[in-house]
Amino acid sequence: MASPPTSRPRPRRSTCVPRNAICSARNGEAVAIRRDLTQAERAFLREVRFAVLGTTNENGSAHLTVMWYDLEGDEIMFNTARGRKKPENLARDPRASLIVADEYRFVRVEGTVRANDDQVVAQADIRKLAFRYYHSDERVQRNVDATWAKQHRITYRMPVRRVYSSGF
């Protein structure tokens, strides 16, 4: 037997900008889904904020990590040490999702990462990230000497393949 019709009004359709974006509703607000970052999203990502990186554990559950990142052109760069969960997960499945948020806005990007464990590159990248967040050569050098120079570092670059955002 069919259910009786309801008198509930249809939800309002939201409009996305740019026009080539796919839209979905989120708390009555439009969430744009695109392949490219807008200038406003780029500016937001260039500000010093923490990101949450999502990878997939072997059992299929999500592994989320708060971390440093940098936007380099159309790629997100991040760095970690061998022996942690991120490199293990990304070696098995290089797909990742990264979200950066403030109180009222967010940008989430998805892509497939490329790893570079060349120590000259990876050590230079952790220094670059540290200076972005610390703004102090002295503090960066203390961390290099105390920790990072003793670690096997890995840099990941994730070309942005899909962008979700709200508040822009």
Look at residues 64, 156, 163 and name the one whose alpha carbon lies nearest to residue 109.
163
pLDDT tens per residue across span 60-87: 999 999 999 999 999 999 999 999 999 9
Q: Which domain holds residue 123?
A: 39-159
State how many domains the chain has: 1
SS3 of residue 78 by DSSP = strand
User: What's the pTM value of the predicted model, to 2 decimals?
Assistant: 0.81
| Residue 125 lies inside a defined structural domain of this protein | yes
| Residue 127 lies inside a defined structural domain of this protein | yes
| Residue 147 lies inside a defined structural domain of this protein | yes
| Residue 30 lies inside a defined structural domain of this protein | no
SS3 of residue 146 by DSSP = helix
8 Å CB contact between 102 and 116: no
pLDDT tens per residue across span 11-66: 443 344 444 455 555 555 666 688 999 999 999 999 999 999 999 999 999 999 99
**Spatial separation of the C-alpha atoms in residues 128 and 48, rounded to whole Å:** 13
**Spatial separation of the C-alpha atoms in residues 4 and 109, rounded to whole Å:** 42
SS3 of residue 139 by DSSP = helix
**Spatial separation of the C-alpha atoms in residues 2 and 97, rounded to whole Å:** 41
| Residue 27 lies inside a defined structural domain of this protein | no
Q: Degrees (nearest 5) of the Cα angle 9, 14, 19?
A: 150
pLDDT tens per residue across span 135-151: 999 999 999 999 999 99
SS3 of residue 101 by DSSP = strand
| Residue 12 lies inside a defined structural domain of this protein | no
* Mean per-residue pLDDT, 105-133: 98
Question: Which tokens sit at 142?
Answer: 């203390």
| Residue 103 lies inside a defined structural domain of this protein | yes
Backbone angles phi, psi at 75, to 5 degrees: -130, 150
Question: Which tokens sit at 53?
Answer: 């990186």
Q: What is the pLDDT of residue 34?
A: 87
Q: CATH code at 90?
A: 2.30.110.10
| Residue 95 lies inside a defined structural domain of this protein | yes
